[in-house]
A and B are shown apart, each in its own frame.
Chain A
Amino acid sequence: MTDEGENFTTFNSRTLVEMVGDVTDEALKATKIKDLVGVLGGRFFNWAQRKSMFPLHLGIKCCALEMAAAGGPRFDAERFSAIFRSSPRQCDVLLVNGPISKKFADPIVRLWEQMPEPKWCIAMGECAISGGPYFQSYNILEGVDTLIPVDIYIPGCPPRPEALIDGFAKLREKIIRIGGVPSNQREHDAPIIIGED
């Protein structure tokens, strides 16, 4: 770790950490402890992710009132782990509850990109699924899945708060199945439509 032209040895802590990490990694792989920790840790993280899904505090249109009612005392989505956070950096679920206009296409993609992995998207209501009653409009995109990969579709105009809570339940089941697969690698999984069973 000696730079040429300098007459002292610089101690680069970053290189030291990398070297120690590589050595430990090789050791763990050789003794198969790494696989064990991966399996247990994966299961633990999966449990944590599906039991604490934090949606973003985003209200686009009418379905936002049903989302608020789902958070109200009668339906109470908070006991099912849905606590609404204001900053996208602290969320895992993007609940799209209204039509996406051309003006809002850019902000919603930016919100999606600001959310850290693993993240899921729920399209709530007809407008987010396919444009809804405004499918003929000059300003509304035909569904949020033209921009963002969607995991759960909740049909309804507006869907009842019970349907939204069912959507979260189906998302929990999906998380058990797909775990921490990043959102841009989920093409092999068909999105779930609530009410189809």
Chain B
Amino acid sequence: MSDKATGASWMVSADQNESAAKAAVSAINSHFSKAGVVASVLKHSSGSKRSYVSIECPPEHWLALAKWLRFDNGVNHCSMITGIHHPDGGADKGWEVVAHLMRMPVKNQEPGVAHVMRGGELEGNDIPMEYEVGIILPPSTTPTVPSVQSVWVGADWNEKETWDLVGINFEGHKDMVRVLNPHDSPVGFHPLQKQHRLRYDGFNEMYDDAQGFGRKPIDADKVK
């Protein structure tokens, strides 16, 4: 599908996507290889099977990597920072923080001007790209990761939510508050940790009757 006027393609083509991913991966690897950061090009497994950049980063270098990605690789959008609890992950993997970032070719515009980008015309650090950064933390009661609140404003509430639900601390985050759970939740209550079970956990609807629907209703003899 192409623009009717110029014939240039709207979509970012698969070749552009592939080459941009490879360029980003080689830049990251050349800069950060000694820090233990490993970047690779992976492909989505279904649909248009586009490539994306997958990075594994040790926690102490996350802030430096984030700054490099933002200022030298043009990654200007922090999509999501999420945390996962692995109680059975072994001696090395107790917690995991996954950050999804995107590079968007968005620049401030003059009034009355619309920047109509066509995918076929983008090049270099303007080609949109998806990034996935995985940070593995060892088992601990106070997992800590540096905060990237200063790099992307969008990381702010993502980190608040991750702390609130999963319990991963973000060092350097200003104004960490509970954002989804009530403010008077018990200190140390982070519901998405695996030791917390759901209400009626193990409830088998066919055979149990935890909510009492099989009993005679208590209002069976009342006026309706």
Bound complex: CA A191 to CA B222 (Å): 9
* Complex interface: chain A residues within 8 A of B181 (CB): 103, 139
- B220 — nearest CB in chain A belongs to which residue? A190
Q: Which of A97-112 contact B (CB under 8 A)?
A: 101-103
Mark contacts of B186-224 with chain A using CB atoms, 8 A cut-off: 1 yes-contact digit, 0 otherwise: 000001000010111101000000010000000100111
Q: Does A146 contact B (CB under 8 A)?
A: no
Query: Interface on chain A toward B: helix, strand, loop, or mixed SS?
Result: loop
Q: Does A24 contact B (CB under 8 A)?
A: no
Q: Is the CB of B196 within 8 A of A190?
A: no
Q: Is the CB of A190 within 8 A of B224?
A: yes
Q: Is the CB of B222 within 8 A of A190?
A: yes
Cβ distance B205 to chain A, nearest Cβ, rounded Å: 11
Q: Is the CB of B223 within 8 A of A190?
A: yes
- B222 — nearest CB in chain A belongs to which residue? A190
Cβ distance B113 to chain A, nearest Cβ, rounded Å: 38
Bound complex: CA A69 to CA B198 (Å): 34
A188 touching B223 in the complex, CB below 8 Å, given contacts A138-B191, A138-B196, A139-B181:
yes
- A101 — nearest CB in chain B belongs to which residue? B182
Bound complex: CA A142 to CA B199 (Å): 10
A136 touching B201 in the complex, CB below 8 Å, given contacts A190-B219, A190-B223, A190-B224:
yes
Mark contacts of A76-95 with chain B using CB atoms, 8 A cut-off: 1 yes-contact digit, 0 otherwise: 00000000000000000000
* Complex interface: chain B residues within 8 A of A192 (CB): 224
Q: Is the CB of B211 within 8 A of A135?
A: yes
Q: Is the CB of B223 within 8 A of A136?
A: no
Q: Which of B154-210 contact A (CB under 8 A)?
A: 181-182, 191, 196, 198-201, 203
Bound complex: CA A191 to CA B199 (Å): 26
* Complex interface: chain A residues within 8 A of B182 (CB): 101-103, 139
* Complex interface: chain A residues within 8 A of B196 (CB): 138
Q: Is the CB of B211 within 8 A of A189?
A: no
Q: Which of B181, B200, B222, B224 has the most CB of A within 10 A?
A: B224
Cβ distance B198 to chain A, nearest Cβ, rounded Å: 4
* Complex interface: chain A residues within 8 A of B219 (CB): 190-191
* Complex interface: chain B residues within 8 A of A190 (CB): 219, 222-224
Q: Is the CB of B198 within 8 A of A137?
A: yes
Mark contacts of A111-154 with chain B using CB atoms, 8 A cut-off: 1 yes-contact digit, 0 otherwise: 00000000000000000001000011111001000000000000
Q: Is the CB of B222 within 8 A of A188?
A: yes
Q: Is the CB of A137 within 8 A of B222?
A: no
Q: Which of A147-197 contact B (CB under 8 A)?
A: 177, 188-192
A138 touching B198 in the complex, CB below 8 Å, given contacts A102-B182, A130-B211:
yes
Show the binding face of A for B, using Cβ within 8 Å: 101-103, 130, 135-139, 142, 177, 188-192
What 7 new A-B contacts, CB under 8 Å, besides A139-B182, A142-B211, A190-B222?
Answer: A101-B182, A103-B181, A137-B199, A139-B181, A177-B223, A188-B223, A190-B224
25 contacts between A and B (CB under 8 A): A101-B182, A102-B182, A103-B181, A103-B182, A130-B211, A135-B199, A135-B200, A136-B198, A136-B199, A136-B200, A136-B201, A137-B198, A138-B191, A138-B196, A139-B181, A139-B182, A139-B191, A142-B211, A177-B223, A188-B223, A189-B223, A190-B219, A190-B222, A190-B223, A192-B224
Top 5 A-B residue pairs of the complex, sorted by shortest distance between their CB atoms:
A190-B219, A190-B222, A136-B198, A103-B182, A136-B199
Show the binding face of B for A, using Cβ within 8 Å: 181-182, 191, 196, 198-201, 203, 211, 219, 222-224
